[in-house]
Each structure stands twice: as structure tokens, then as C-alpha cells.
Chain A
């Protein structure tokens, strides 16, 4: 790939993600209505572009709440849960991966076995299991997703650290008397960041779909908070009468995940040109 085409995916994915972030952060300014405001006279109004007769562009739900406002506010939860999970799982996974790879021996063996235990559960199942027993809630959801996701970082970082610790610059730092903590934080972890960034991007896409899936199953955040997954779940009961209730939140999830996947693909192409040639 030559010139701009090399960056096409990153740019297109980045634009989608940036627009979504603006949407989420600026929700109070962008949303035409309060997402919780009910109006029973306005219930199940279809989408309309003629704002003089029907001011609800994406229509309204069974309680007369404006769907567009709810979809805009829903982006906040998806992005917040996604970002928080990716960040916290990243910190936990990178730290444990770096420690395991750097110190080796018993520490490595213990952390490795722990990752194997977590990897023995399919990601979605582990998240469902944790939520089933912890109960609904935003914090519980983030905990469940972090616990299901940290292992991917840990595995990759451990592998990278195993090779990095033999490199000259790490040995030079050691010869100069740098402490293990300094070497890990200053030399080892920063060198794993390109791989971590790629994993984080793909993880974000998976986490957003999982959050929506858990909310759809009634295992995510409480129903009072508008999320795309819970909107889909509620809209399912009115599928034939009001299909827009399931179409728009689904499109929102799809575009978000597509944007993030494009960004991830693009970052991988840039950071790992060898992989690009074979892909």
C-alpha cells in the first residue's frame, strides 16, 4: 500500500470514533430531548423527517421517549464502559504480563497458570457468569469485563517482555544499576505499547458488543440507564409494530464497532507491516 491508502483505514475508523466521542461527550447539547422524558401521547411515533408534524427523527419508544436522544445518550455508556474496561484491563494485564515475563520462574508460572484458568472460559461466558452472580450495575459490568479481558494483554505483553529483556538496551540499563521497577516502567512497558494499542482497539470493539449483549440479556446496567443493548431488548417486544426501536440502536452498535475495527486494522497495518503483507 502506498501513501494515503496505507492510512485509509486508520483515518476512516478514526473519524467514526471521533464523531462517536463527540456524540457521547456532547450528548446534553446534541440530544433534542431528555432521554428519560416520557410522553404517552407521543408513544410509538414512527421516524420522520418532517419535523413540523413529528419532531422525532428516529421516532419514539413505547413510553413516548425520543429514540434519537436515547441513542445519543446510549453512546456515552458504550464508550465509557469500553474505554474504562480497555484502560483498566490494559493496566492490569500489562503489569502482570511485564512482571511475569521479566522475573520469570515462580512468578511467571503462577501468573501463567492464572491466565490459563481465565482463558479456559469463553470471554462472553465469563462475563455472563460474573454478571449473573454480581448482579446488574455499571461498576459490576466494568469489573466483569475487566476480569474477562485482562488476560489477552497479559499474554501478549509477557511474550514481548521475554524477548525485550534480552535486548541490549535493557541489559545496558541493568548494567548501569537501574532498578527492576525503573527498567520495567521506563524501558520494557513503553516498548510493548504498539502491540498493546492494537489489542486495546480490538478489545474495545469486543467489549462494546459484549456490553450490548449483556444489556440485551438484562445482565448489564440497570434499565433506568439508556444503553443500546437494553433499547434493543425493549424494542424487541414491539418489533413488528415499531421496528425502528430495534433498527436504530443496532445500527449505532454496528457503526461504532465497525469504526473501531477499521481503526484496529489500520493500526495493525502500520505497526506490523510484515503482517500486512500476508493479510
Chain B
């Protein structure tokens, strides 16, 4: 079954690569002229065209793109002249750190609200919780980010509004996750500085995610709480605490964890906006930079990389789901 799912993924991966490659062909203007400028000499243009293989038929170019991608080579940035993989690798830790921090913020806020709303179904708490979730889903995250920067960063001056660390604060890179590296170095001042820097972007990115988890956790708990085995547990005389913690939450968590996994990929892509608002040096802001500077090779590589991560995270969640709940068939 797992093998069938993995084999089924191959045509999808080929289709994804084709879509990304095809989109690049739609880009206006000649990429070589964009790089060298309008007044470039013809022999320079010819040389770069040959060097990048742009004189080859499209199908050959696609074959080169896909065969290099399989080896982890997503091409070379036209602006920086460095491999896309290297640029992505340099920036990936910042994005992963932000995505994980957002997820943590979202879980800490959403899970208690969602679960308690389900337990107190149709109460004032439940209605308030769902209203907050509705508001959370409806707030555009880039606007929320700007408002947080304005009020908490600018007006109240409580938190820094850009970057990962204050200028002058340094942490020895081990994992390149600043929070983790600060802890490894035992530098609590740097850790606290990193926490303050990540807080606003994490809240911005995590808000709509929190709203989704609130709804999902509430509906999962409601679904479980109506099952016969919960009634049986209550009939046996178990305390409400045991019924909720041991019987309800454990079963409801399967759905919640699945959604968390699926949302991790979405969080990575959502980081594009948040990173731009907060000048966060991750791959989201790298993508926007590559688009604004018309570095199409880099944009193509980053988009394909994002899509691959999203795809494989979803695939892993699917496979894990069948492992956790053997009744599910892929």
C-alpha cells in the first residue's frame, strides 16, 4: 500500500516539475538580456545563452532541469551566481525556525480554546471561542503583521520588528536555528533576544493557523465525545477528568496531529508574506527578492523547492496517518 502511494507520487512529481519549468518559459523578456543588460555585446549574449543551455530545444532544457533537480541541483541564481540549493540552504533554517515557532504559538493558543469549547459545547465560552476563530481566519496576516509592528513595535516599543537578532548580538552557528544555537551556547541573553525577535512574526504567521486548529480540535473532540465508548466510560463511573484526558483527547488528537502536519507545509508557504513584512531572512523573502529582481532561475528553484517540501510533508503525513490508524486506506 505504501509502495503504491510512493509509486503514485512519481507522475505527480514529474507534473510538478513540468508546471514549474513551463511557467518559467512564460516569463516576459529574455533572461540573458535581463542579466547582461540591453547594451551587452552579441558574443557575450551568445556565450551566456550557450552556458545556460538556452540554445537547446525546450524538451532538452526540461530534461536537464529535471535530471539536475533529481541530484539536488536546482540551477544557479542569475544575480548571485551561486547555486540555488546553497542559497536555499543558507536561508532555510530561518524559515523552519519561524514555521515551528508559529506552530507552537498556534498550538498553545488554539488547542486549549478548541478543546474547552467542545467540552462546554454551546456555552458562552464555546460561542466566544468560535467567534475568535472566525476573526482569526478573516484577518489578513500581512495586515496583522503591520499592525503588530505599528502598535507593539513602534508605539509601545516592546518588541523588535525586524531581523532575527539585535545587531551586535552573535550566536555561534551550530544548527543555524538561532534559538537552539543560543541554548546550546548557554547564552540566555541571546536566547531571550531571539525570542523577542521571533515573537511578532510567529504571532502573525500563526494566527490564521491557530484559528484553523481551534475549529479542528473542537470538532474532533465533539466527534469523539459522542462515541459510545465515552458514554461507557462515563457509565463505568470514571471521573470527567479521566474521560476527557484519557479517552477523548487521545482519540481526538489523531485528527488534530494530521491537520498540524498538513498545515506545516502551508505555514512554509505562508512565510512568504510574513518574512517580507518582518524582513525575516528566510526562503520566503528570498523568493520575493528573486521575483522583484527578475532572477527567474532562482525563483524557479525556490518555487520548486517549496512545492517539493509541501508535497513530501503531505506524503509523510498520509503515510503516518495509516500507521497511526490502520483503518485508513490510501
Contact = CB atoms under 8 A, between A and B. Distances in A.
B24 A239 contact: no
Interface residues of A, number: 43
A113 B23 CA distance: 19
Contact of A133 (B13, B273, B296, B314): B296
A257 B269 contact: no
Interface residues of B, number: 51
Interface in B1-52: 11-13, 15-16, 19-20, 23-24, 26-28
A122 B306 contact: yes
A123 to B, nearest CB: 8
B147 interface: yes
Contacts of B13: 120
A278 B314 CA distance: 26
Given A250-B147, A279-B218, A258 B134 contact: yes
Contact of A262 (B134, B146, B222, B299): B134
B69 interface: no
Contacts, number: 128
Interface in A178-226: 205, 209, 212-213, 216-219
B291 A250 contact: no
Interface in B105-158: 134-135, 137-140, 142-143, 146-147, 149-150, 154
Contacts of A212: 140, 142
A132 B299 contact: yes
A216 B292 contact: no
A186 to B, nearest CB: 33
A43 to B, nearest CB: 20
Interface in A110-150: 113-114, 116-118, 120-122, 124-125, 128-130, 132-135
B143 A232 contact: yes
A130 B26 CA distance: 9
Interface string B215-258: 10011001100100000000000000000000000000000000
Nearest to B11: A113
B142 A232 contact: yes
A236 B147 CA distance: 10
Contacts of B20: 129
B201 interface: no
A271 interface: no
A253 interface: yes
Nearest to B22: A133
A85 interface: no
Contacts of B268: 122
A124 B272 contact: yes
Given A120-B307, A132-B299, A278 B222 contact: yes
B58 to A, nearest CB: 15
A69 interface: no
A258 B138 contact: yes
Contact of A257 (B26, B138, B222): B138
Contacts of B11: 113
Contacts of A125: 269, 272, 303, 306-307, 310
B54 to A, nearest CB: 16
A108 interface: no
B270 interface: yes
A116 B110 CA distance: 30
B270 A124 contact: yes
Contacts of A132: 23, 27, 291, 296, 299, 303
Contact of B146 (A118, A213, A236): A236
A239 B162 CA distance: 15
A218 B265 CA distance: 24
A208 to B, nearest CB: 9
A120 B134 contact: no
B87 interface: no
Contacts of A128: 272, 287, 291, 303
A120 B142 contact: no
Nearest to A130: B23
A261 interface: yes
A239 B154 contact: yes
B62 interface: no
B140 A257 contact: yes
B222 to A, nearest CB: 5
Contacts of B19: 117-118, 121
Q: Which 4 pairs, one residue from A and one from B, show the smallest C-beta to C-beta distance?
A: A122-B269, A117-B15, A250-B143, A258-B138
